[in-house]
Amino acid sequence: MRGSVPESWTAPLRALRRSRGAFRAAGVLASAALLLPLAPGAATATATDRRAPSGALQRAFAAASREYRVPQSVLLGVSYLESRWDAHRGAPSVTGGYGPMHLTDAAHAVAAVPHHSDGREDPRGDGSRPATGPRAVRPSALPPGELPERLRTLEQAARASGLSREALRKDPAANVRGGAALLAAAQKRLGLPLSEDPADWFGAVAGYPRASDSATATAFARDVFGVIRSGQRRTTDAGQRVALPAAPRLPDRTEQVRRLGLHDPADEETECPAAVACESIPAPYEKLQGDNYGNHDLADRPSSQKTEFIVIHDTEGSWETTIKLVKDPAYVSWNYTVRSADGHIAQHVPTKDVAWHAGNWYVNAKSVGIEHEGFLAQPDAWYTEEMYRTSARLVRYLAQELEIPLDRQHVLGHDNVPGTTPESIKGMHTDPGPYWDWAHYFDLMGKPFRPTGGAYAGMVTVLPDYEAHKPAYTGCTGPAKPCAAHGSGAVRLHTQPNEKSPLVKDAGLRPDGSASTIDVNDTGARASTGQQFAVAARKGSWTAIWYLGQMAWFRNPLSQPTAVNAYGSVVTPKEGLAEVPVFGRAYPEKEAYPAGVPVQALAPLPYKLLAGQAYVMGQRLGSEYLWAKTFDPAGHKVVRGKEAYYEIQFGHRVAFVKASDVTVRPSNR
């Protein structure tokens, strides 16, 4: 959505439907010898102190391992899945988790405006029906005494370690000690030895995120042990070099999870991969007053319509708030929600049905929507590695089952979905925003962004170094207020090849002709990781692309490139046409509509694809419109026309052009 500012932090797919309790067994015997010896003491480095020796955090893990007799590989594995060893300058995660060990303290957290509740976008996006309008539902934050245990682990770590809450929040070394104390206390509670063998700690690791069911706990522990088996090495956000050597023969001792006494999940049918914990929390399909009903449409995809897109959202609210909302028949819906702390997934709408989530009815009818617990405008309210990994597994699974290519023309952010009419453009949501790590997300899917062409291939794929690339943004904590410096996957677009030139304009967002801004919610002059554009020119360390009908420049130096060369297909206006219209939906021509189904206007957007310009083609699509205004799906109809469209990367958002208006050619011609 358009990023709200929280006052503080909170908390039939063919034959492959599966039971949420199904998990694969794995493992053989192993040992884990660490590369670095235990240090006699841990160096203390605050979250904001980048002057700390680059090995201080590694020594902190070693010292905590020795103090609490927790294998260092276990500490490193848990921390990697929670934070990738980053300290985030002491800022909390989306669930109020602090430091490398993600110790949670969400007692006073509350989101200001939940996703889809601000009223500036009609999530259904169907002009044939009245807008759903702003939602009055505002679930209040849970009182501190009612917060689930998974949101209160910092206070437990304080008791177990004797360290202050302030130290656990701000000092990475203390935070690691607190996490080690929690694991050691859990091991004793389970009646297991403080063993040097990491395999003996599977149960304690499973209990670390305080999941309420055995499936989620098991999935988390499997992921931690998978990291230990594969090993990891990286430099953290504070410049700390941390290494976890591989222990490839380490087994999963899943029988230990029974000692946690968690309930076994119900044997529910969900559309999720076997490697995640997934439960069913259905969105209600109920008849409301008059002809109104909610909060989605029954359908029969893919028999009725091919699903072409997966849309990535963030919730702008806590898990608890989000689940309350999706269970409200008067609210809207999406297909899945992913929890940040432990990667738990809830499915709300079957993929065969149409959820109301994207603000564009054409996209809704042909997509699956996935919400992620988090906040666009608070980059330091970070997502856990476990959430990224679990979501990536879900997307990869859905892409395979629904035959959706894994690329940025098919896996869209909500901020890449176009408005349907000129009037709707301003209200379109902007999540997950410039701080979502698309490069890492696609790496986890096994589809990394790489060069696919040479210097003269005629296209580029946007690909800045997320952690090193830190463009300035405003609006995270208030209008025009600077956001904290943070990694970003988006590049900024200028009218000339220099930083001082104005940003390019977006005629849809600003019909008055005013310039774009660097506000975190302003998508008018922004290109995002994985998006592909036709090259218009190059000059020194700058590259120009065709963008919203104009030439747009971004800095792309050889020493620190923000894009890589690519090759593919582009569209240009047919010979003799000075310009062609651009659309936010691929609707049929009026002759295709049968009696009883009102003709939907083709309403071009306030942009033009001009002669001499080229835009990267995503896919060819037949024109379709899903007529769905009745509670009984027997009254629904899919209208198909003869007109075909091409999806193009036109600006930050995708758009559609008629195939009859354009020529498709290789990008290098």
pLDDT of residue 115: 55
Q: Is the confidence at residue 46, as pLDDT, over 80?
A: no
DSSP, collapsed to helix, strand or coil, labels residue 217 as helix
Whether 388 and 437 have beta carbons less than 8 Å apart is answered as: yes
pLDDT range class, residue 477, cuts 50, 70, 90: confident
pLDDT of residue 379: 56
Q: Which tokens is 159 given?
A: 């008791």
Burial (0-12, 13-18, 19+ Cβ within 10 Å), 547: buried
Integer Rg of the chain from CA: 25
Q: Which tokens is 269 given?
A: 């049918």
pLDDT of residue 253: 97
Whether 380 and 93 have beta carbons less than 8 Å apart is answered as: no
Computed over every residue of the chain, the mean pLDDT equals: 87
pLDDT of residue 246: 97
**Higher model confidence: residue 35 or residue 128?**
128
pLDDT of residue 131: 64
Mean pLDDT of 285-290: 86
pLDDT of residue 457: 97
Residue ranges of the chain assigned to CATH 3.40.80.10: 111-146+266-448
Whether the link from the prior residue into 432 is cis, omega within 30° of 0, is yes
Whether CATH 3.40.190.10 fits 111-146+266-448: no
Whether 391 and 343 have beta carbons less than 8 Å apart is answered as: yes
- Look up the CATH number of domain 29-107+149-260: 1.10.530
Q: Is the confidence at residue 129, as pLDDT, over 70?
A: no
479 vs 440: CA distance, rounded Å:
30
Mean pLDDT of 134-153: 64
667 vs 567: CA distance, rounded Å:
6
Helix 153-161 × helix 172-189 angle, to 10°: 90
**Higher model confidence: residue 520 or residue 30?**
520
pLDDT of residue 119: 56
The string of pLDDT tens digits covering residues 521-552 is 999 999 999 999 999 999 999 999 999 999 99
DSSP 424: G
608 vs 648: CA distance, rounded Å:
13
Mean pLDDT of 171-199: 97
Which single residue is written with the structure tokens 């669930």? 95
Of 116-125, 304-313, 338-347, 586-595, give the lowest mean pLDDT range.
116-125
Of 42-46, 172-176, 570-574, give the lowest mean pLDDT range.
42-46
Q: Which tokens is 521 given?
A: 């919610």
> Per this entry, what is the length of the chain?
669
pLDDT of residue 381: 64
The amino acid present at 447, given as its one-letter code, is: K
Whether 394 and 386 have beta carbons less than 8 Å apart is answered as: no
pLDDT range class, residue 44, cuts 50, 70, 90: very low
Q: What is the number of other CB atoms lying within 10 angstroms of the CB of residue 361?
A: 26
Instruction: To the nearest 10°, report the CA torsion of 376, 377, 380, 385.
Output: 10
Q: Which tokens is 130 given?
A: 């009245």
Q: Is the confidence at residue 589, as pLDDT, over 60?
A: yes
pLDDT of residue 26: 33
Residue ranges of the chain assigned to CATH 1.10.530: 29-107+149-260
- For the entire predicted model, the pTM comes to 0.89
Which single residue is written with the structure tokens 């889809």? 116
Of 2-16, 423-437, 470-484, 592-606, give the lowest mean pLDDT range.
2-16
Percentage of the chain beyond pLDDT 70 is: 86
The amino acid present at 661, given as its one-letter code, is: D
Which own/partner contact pairs does 12-18 have at CB distance under 8 Å and 24+ positions apart?
12/352, 13/271, 13/351, 13/401, 13/402, 14/401, 16/271, 16/401, 17/269, 17/270, 17/271, 18/269, 18/270, 18/271, 18/272, 18/273, 18/274
**What pairs with residue 619 in β-bridges?**
647
Whether 169 and 56 have beta carbons less than 8 Å apart is answered as: no
DSSP 519: B
* Closest alpha carbon to 617 in 569, 565, 668, 669: 569
Beta strands in 432-585 (DSSP E): 459-462, 490-492, 526-528, 532-539, 542-547, 550-555, 563-566, 569-573, 579-581
> Cα–Cα–Cα angle for 452, 458, 464, nearest 5°?
60
Whether 321 and 117 have beta carbons less than 8 Å apart is answered as: no
pLDDT of residue 290: 78
pLDDT of residue 30: 32
The string of pLDDT tens digits covering residues 637-663 is 999 999 999 999 999 999 999 999 999
